[in-house]
Each structure stands twice: as C-alpha cells, then as structure tokens.
Chains A and B, each alone.
Chain A
Amino acid sequence: MLRYSLKRLMSLLISLAVASVVIFVVIEIAPGDPASFMLGINAQPETVAALRTELGLDVPKWQRYLDWIGGMFRGDFGTSYTYRTPVAEMIADRLWVSLPLALFALALSTLIAFPAGIYAASRRGQPGDVAVMGATQLGVAVPNFWFAMMLVLIFAINLRWFSAGGFVGWEAGFWAGMRSLTLPAVSLALPQAAILARVMRSSLLDILGEDFMRTARAKGLSRRQALWRHGVRNALIPVLTIIGLQFSFLLAGSIIIEQVFYLPGLGRLVFQSISSRDLIVVESVVMLLVFSVILVNFLVDLAYALVDPRLRTRT
C-alpha cells in the first residue's frame, strides 16, 4: 500500500512539474508586455523599465519560472498587475466560494446518482429502469448553465425561494452561505448525476454478469443480497474513475455557473483578469485548477487501493 501510494505520489509530482512548465510557457508566448499594457501607450520608457523591475520581469525567463514555482511553495503567487495586491489573497477569497461550490455539487451528484444507478440496475428492463434511464438521457443533454437559468427563472424569479444571484458571504453564517450556493450546486450537480448514474448502472450490470455473482447466488443469497454484498463494491472501481474525472468537469462547470449567478469565485476572477490582461492572475488560477484536478485524481488512485485489495499487494 505504501509503495503504491509513493508511486502515485511520484507521478503526481511529475505531472505537476510538467503542467507548470506548460502553463508558464503558454503565458510567456502571450503578446504584449504587461508593464507597457498597465501604463498605457504614452508611458515613458524609464517608467516602463522601472515597473518591469518592480514586477520582476527583467530577469531571465528560467529565473522567473523558478521564482514563480518557489513562490507558490511559500504561498506567494506574486502581485496582481492590475490591483497591485498579492494574487494569493485574491485567490484565497475566491476559493472560499468556488471550492465549497464544487464539493457541494460533487456530494449532491453522488448522493443522487448512486441510488438511481443501483435502483435502475436492480430493475433492469423494468419500468423503473426505463424511467431512470430516460431521465438521465435528458439530464446528460441539458447544458448546466441553461439549467441554471431555468432554476433562477422558476425558484428565484417566480417562487422567490432563493435569491437570483450573488453570494452573501460565509460571514452571514454557514446555512445562509449554503443557501446562496444551493441553486448553483443543483444546476452543476444534476447533469453530472445523470452521467454518474448511467456509469453506476452499466458498471453494476457488468458485475452482475460475473462468475462470482453466480457463486454468491449458489450460496443462497437472493438477487438483492448478491447485488449489495458483492456487486456494489466491485462496481465502484470504474465509478471512482468517473468521479475523479467529474471533479474537473465540476470545476470547469463552476467557472461558467459563477457567471450565471454572479458568484465572486475563481471563474469571475479569471474572466476579469483576462479582460484586463492581468496574466499573472490567469497563470496562477489555471495552475491552481490543474493542481486540484491532478490532486483529486491522485486521491482517486488511493481510493482504488481501498476498494480493491489486488492493488494493495500488486508490485
């Protein structure tokens, strides 16, 4: 188990290193000098040079890369070109919206998908299965941001159960905060739940055809007992992969959903930064997003080992 974890950790570090180089290089290609952009076209060359020194743009590129990486390890993401405030602080504020939103949505989608998938698999071909599958087919096809607009129309504008947008802040209390994240989380979660439920169902159906399920039935387990005791845990193995992948979709999705609900999250930060060419912020946010995707997939790999004993001893 330890060796397996160490191996996954190694590959996590390598992925992070390569990803950071890719992001750095892409941002470097960006045309235009941030200092000139910030000062406008009429700026004096000396002023620009002074600002370049202040922003640390006058050192060699490899040096800047190392500074950037080194800084991130210390929690120093540099200074925003536009706001002249530490990027780390800007990100930290926004993270308190985006991360809870993604986790809330992930929890919701899992809570909906597991029972739905298991229910459909256990009633294969029966009306219950057909109904669940029809609903998921529709769920997969609905764009989450459109779904979000419809939720706003129904629950905020017509029924007035929730506010149409904005975030009250966690200062207003945990439940008030969750309340303003509920519609965004639901709109993110339902389409993902549809995918996950389909995967859960087909994975379970695959397992139901396995020899050991027949063995379990030969021992005297009923269909239902065999499904729960032998099917679900085995079916989790492919489902975990999808949950890992979904996290990255949820993260990306939350960037869009934040636009619908005017949530002050990472997504809005990124779009503001792009329009003001505050590339250091874009760079850091993208790195953070990629880091979280890689980290989640690392955690999924560890979860595999918990579910599947074959991985614990495999060399």
Chain B
Amino acid sequence: MSRSLIIGIALSSLVVLAALVSFVWTPYDHTVMDIPAKLHPPGAGHWFGTDHFGRDIFSMIMVGARTSIAVALIAVGIGMALGVPLGLMAAAHKGSWLDELIMRGNDLVFAFPSLVIAILITAVFGAGAVNAIIAIGIFNIPVFARISRGAALSLWERDFILAARVAGKSGARISIEHILPNITNLLIVQGTIQFSLGILAEAGLSYVGLGAQPPTPSWGRMLADAQTMVSFAPHLALIPGIAIIVTVLGLNLMGDGLRDYLDPRLRINRA
C-alpha cells in the first residue's frame, strides 16, 4: 500500500469515526445554547471553542460529519444505482437508439450543474437535506453512466466477451457476469472521488441555505453563520473549513491510492 492510501484511509476513517461516535457521545449537547460562554476561542473546556450562541463547536463538527457523509454517500449511491446500469446498457447496445438516448440524456443532465438542479428543486419544493441529496445524486448519474459506458465499451472489444457471445450469452448477462466485475475497481475509485465532491457540494449548498435546515447541524451552514464574525472570531470559520478539507483530502488521497493499488496493470504481471 502506498503512503497516500494509508494517509487517505486514516483521515477518512477519522471523520467516519467522529460521525459514528456522535450518535452515542459528544463532549456537549450540540443544540444546547450557553450565551455566557459564547465565542470562546479553542481551549481546554471547549476544544474547538464555542459559537455565538455558546454551542460547543467540537460537538457540532462531530454531528455535522453525519450530515455531510450521509448526503454525499446517498448521492453516490443514487448515481451508481442509476448511472451504472444505464452506462452498461448503452455499451451493450452501442450505436443503437437506446445508446444515443442515454448519452444525449447524460449530456443534458451535465448541462445542469448540481447547484442549478438544487436551485430548481428548492424553487419548487423548498430547501432541505433530501433535496440536496437529490440534486447531487442527479448530477452523479451521468458521471457514472459515462465512466461505466466508456470502460464497458473497451471491454466489449475484447475477445473474451466475444467468446461469451459465442457461448450464447445475452447482452445483459454478459454485462453482469463479465463487464461489471472488470469495472468494479474503476467504480470504487470514481465512487470515492464523487463522494468527496459530494461533501464539497453539500457544504456549498448548505452555505447558501439550500441544504440541511436548522436544527440539523451542517458544516456549510456553520460557515455561513461564521461569515459576519470572521473578523473577531476566526475560529468559527477556520474549524468547519478544516473539517471539510480533511475529509475531502482524505477521500481524494484514498481514491488516488486505491487507483494505483487496484490497477491490475501495476500488480499482475501479464507477460
């Protein structure tokens, strides 16, 4: 395992662990306001300080990790669950009207940045974490469709697929039996990358008020709240920002490391 993979796994696990532990324990109740103790800088009593309502930032960061991870993870799930079958189907029927339809549909969705989707959804249904998930998830669909189609197409050119066709297997069966296992690594790596992009997107959406609504804590909204106080309480902005960076950096390092680790060209000597 490479160094970046180890660091990546360590950072990501740290964040996931914080989110899991927050279900059973946080240093303080993250919803309890303690106005006299407001705007404490980081120190012994409150490790990460307190916000303008005197809430414990460390606790809020832990609970906020839950929101970030849940939104990004479900969005990746939506993208994979819909995108991969579409991509495989398009590849199995390369050049047909179905392929054309799927790919045009993809191009169309690509024209709607996730923020624009979120704006549309919010305009219609109002803001909320679910809408953030849908917005990011929809944007993930074409990403996975495109990458699985591309990888599947190059596999369809290979002789072992031809051999399976000579053995009378259908396009769907070949896609599941031969194509999917051979693109799993690719999907894991892309999934990690989309996961980290989802964390960033969720933070952005909550920052502009399109994501999780109070009282659900989220890193993006903590930053939005911090904005007017950044000149006299910079820790309010620094700490959630660093939490986001650590998470995204960890996931990206893990994705890069996994790509090298899983790449059969680097592991199996084919000669």
Contacts and interface: CB of A to CB of B under 8 A. Distances in A.
A contacts B directly (C-beta below 8 A): yes
Interface of A: 11, 14-15, 18-19, 22-23, 26-27, 29-31, 137-138, 140-143, 145-146, 149-150, 152-153, 157, 245, 248-249, 251-253, 255-256, 259-260, 267, 270-271, 274, 277, 279, 282, 286, 289-290, 293-294, 297
Contacts of A23: 120
B123 A248 contact: no
B249 A137 contact: yes
Contacts of A270: 119
B111 A248 contact: yes
A277 B124 CA distance: 9
Contacts of B245: 138, 141-143, 146
Q: Which of A31, A141, A271, A286 has the most CB of B within 10 A?
A: A141
B204 interface: yes
A252 B114 contact: yes
Contacts of B130: none
A142 B209 CA distance: 19
Given A149-B237, A260-B227, A143 B204 contact: yes
Interface stretch (B23-31, B45-53, B102-110): B102-110
Contacts of A248: 110-111, 113
A294 B111 contact: yes
A270 B121 CA distance: 13
A145 B119 contact: no
Closest 5 CB pairs of A and B: A252-B113, A252-B115, A141-B248, A146-B241, A141-B249
Interface size class of B (residues with CB under 8 A): 35 or more
Contacts of A277: 123
Q: Which of A26, A145, A146, A252 has the most CB of B within 10 A?
A: A146
Contacts of A251: 113
A31 B114 CA distance: 22
Contacts of B226: 149
Contacts of B108: 15, 18-19, 22
A288 B41 CA distance: 44
11 contacts: A15-B104, A15-B108, A27-B123, A143-B200, A143-B207, A157-B230, A252-B113, A256-B204, A277-B123, A293-B113, A297-B107
Nearest to A292: B111
Q: Which of B196, B208, B223, B226 has the most CB of A within 10 A?
A: B208
A279 B123 contact: yes
A201 to B, nearest CB: 13
A11 B107 CA distance: 10
A34 B125 CA distance: 15
A152 B223 CA distance: 14
A285 B248 CA distance: 31
B234 interface: yes
B234 A153 contact: yes
A277 B107 CA distance: 29
Interface string B225-268: 01100110010010011001100110011000000000000000
Contacts of A140: 248, 252
A27 B119 CA distance: 11
B252 A29 contact: no
A137 B124 CA distance: 37
A18 B110 CA distance: 13
A143 B244 contact: yes
Given A271-B208, A290-B111, A293-B113, A30 B196 contact: no
A141 B196 contact: yes
A23 B109 CA distance: 12
B248 A259 contact: no
B141 interface: no
Nearest to B238: A150
A153 B230 contact: yes
Contacts of A252: 113-116
A153 B231 contact: yes
A246 to B, nearest CB: 11
B185 interface: no
Interface in B96-147: 104, 107-108, 110-116, 119-124
A293 B226 CA distance: 32
Contacts of B231: 153, 157
A137 B193 CA distance: 12
B115 A255 contact: yes
